[in-house]
Amino acid sequence: MHLMYFTEQPMSTYPQQEGLDFGATALMFSNRHFDPVSGSRLYNEYIEEYKLAESVGIDGIMLNEHHNAPFCMQAKANIFAAILAAVTERMKIVLLGNPLPLAENPVRLAEELAMIDMISRGRLVSGFVRGGGQEQLAAGVNPAFNRERFEEAHDLIIAAWTREGPFRFEGTHYHNRVVNPWALPLQKPYPRVWVPGVISRETIVWAARHRYPYIALNTSIESTRNIWKIYDEEAERCGYTAGPENRGYLQQCHVAETEEKAIENARQFRWMQGEFTGLAHPSWASPAGYSSPNNRRAFVEFSVGRRENPRGITSFEEQVEQGRIICGTPKTVIPRIRRVLEETRPSIYAVWGNDGTVSHADSLSCIRLLGEEVFPAIREIGQELGLHSPFDVDAPVSLAYSPETDRAEVRRQA
């Protein structure tokens, strides 16, 4: 298994009542509530937590980015990835990921990622995402072309990494006169690409078509199984059989010395009033054209207050019941994690350990318990269940580089 640590890097010192009064903590919630002094402290605490994660044997750090919101302090995942490339030695740096549609020049992303891969001596996993709905508004990027831009930016980045320059790229949304980056990834053919997601069928199918592992973000066991069903069927159509190496799962899981403390801290997973990406304004979270047409009606109803969030809102107790939030001492969380692994069989397992106002000391304690007690047991369970990661089995980076694939045909199509 590949076992990772993740935190949203919460900007926990903003005045929470102000957010409740405003009714949203994303996009338009004023940055007059942002305090750079505590921001500076928190960034440095997060770096210390990541370094501890490596020293207690955790395999990777999962990083992400969001904009205009206190639930996530990372405005640029590549900055933390670059820091970790220099201050850590062994762990994977897993970006889940760069929001491709927000990029006006994907070649610049290709350069940044190549630099991170070289500086880290080949430890980069370069996940890609579409970016949240409100991020399209924050970046001024057209939500109606979000998916097209995602796919095209991906194609351009992979070309920049694998095709000898200089060449010209004339796409629909991206037009690059000269692609010839003098920074190329150390890993060949290119760093692994993992694709996280929550709901969109199109993204699952796209990941399966590329044979990129799909990382289900804190979905219920039932939803996760549905995701694998969609993925597996598409994989078969593409001529390969998907397995645990194609599957990842992000789990909210807080571990503490006592049950009481673990429950108290785990309640912080709900610090955004149960919203996954901050207390969202429904219209900003789902601008027109951003969501799958299949979900259009549901998001419209949500937008005008006629139904609950289609992404799902459940109470703390329900989330614990569904296994989406796990908390306790190492002894009590291990069997619960085992159940999730048995039911969904991922080989990539990320623990979202700390959120909200969980203290630095408790965060460090959680990471230590994860690395020293929980993950060693999970690794054994993974062995027993045959959950071998893409690194364990040296899985192909993509379908185009799979043994089943006719390389010449792939090159011709490219």
CB 320 within 8 Å of CB 333: no
Q: Minimum Å distance from CB 300 to other proteins?
A: 5
d(CA 296, CA 290): 9
Q: Minimum Å distance from CB 313 to other proteins?
A: 18
The string of DSSP letters for 234-256 reads: HHHHTT----GGGEEEEEEEEE-
Q: Which is nearer to other proteins, 295 or 314 (CB)?
A: 295
Q: Minimum Å distance from CB 291 to other proteins?
A: 10
Q: Minimum Å distance from CB 289 to other proteins?
A: 4
Region of residue 362 (phi > 0: left; psi between -120 and 50: alpha; otherwise: beta) = alpha
* Closest among 125, 136, 92, 109 to 277, alpha carbons compared: 136
CB 60 within 8 Å of CB 96: no
Q: Which is nearer to other proteins, 305 or 403 (CB)?
A: 305
CA dihedral sign, ordered 29, 32, 36, 41: negative
Q: Which is nearer to other proteins, 59 or 135 (CB)?
A: 135
Q: Which is nearer to other proteins, 45 or 301 (CB)?
A: 301
**At 92, phi and psi to the nearest 5?**
-75, 145
**At 398, phi and psi to the nearest 5?**
-155, 170
Q: Minimum Å distance from CB 66 to other proteins?
A: 18
Q: Which is nearer to other proteins, 86 or 288 (CB)?
A: 288
d(CA 56, CA 371): 5
d(CA 131, CA 138): 11
CB 309 within 8 Å of CB 302: yes
Q: Minimum Å distance from CB 170 to other proteins?
A: 16
Residue 259 is encoded by which pair of tokens?
């049950």
Q: Which is nearer to other proteins, 104 or 404 (CB)?
A: 104
Q: Minimum Å distance from CB 29 to other proteins?
A: 13
Q: Minimum Å distance from CB 374 to other proteins?
A: 43
Q: Which is nearer to other proteins, 142 or 357 (CB)?
A: 142
Q: Which residues of 159-186 are buried (b: 16+ CB within 10 A; e: fewer)?
A: bbbbeeeeeebeeebbebeebebeebbb
Residue 61 is encoded by which pair of tokens?
């750090």
Q: Minimum Å distance from CB 30 to other proteins?
A: 14
**At 122, phi and psi to the nearest 5?**
85, 35
Q: Which is nearer to other proteins, 28 or 238 (CB)?
A: 28
Q: Which is nearer to other proteins, 309 or 314 (CB)?
A: 309
Strands 167-170 and 175-179, sheet pairing: antiparallel
Q: Which is nearer to other proteins, 40 or 172 (CB)?
A: 172
Binding residues for other proteins, per CB under 8 A?
28, 137, 140, 142-145, 282-284, 287-289, 296-297, 300-301, 303-306
Query: Exposed/middle/buried for 411, CB within 10 Å: 0-12, 13-18, 19+?
Result: exposed
Respond yes or no on whether the N-terminal peptide bond of residue 166 is cis (omega within 30° of 0): yes
Taking only Cα atoms into account, the Rg of the chain, rounded to an integer number of angstroms, comes to 20
Q: Minimum Å distance from CB 220 to other proteins?
A: 26
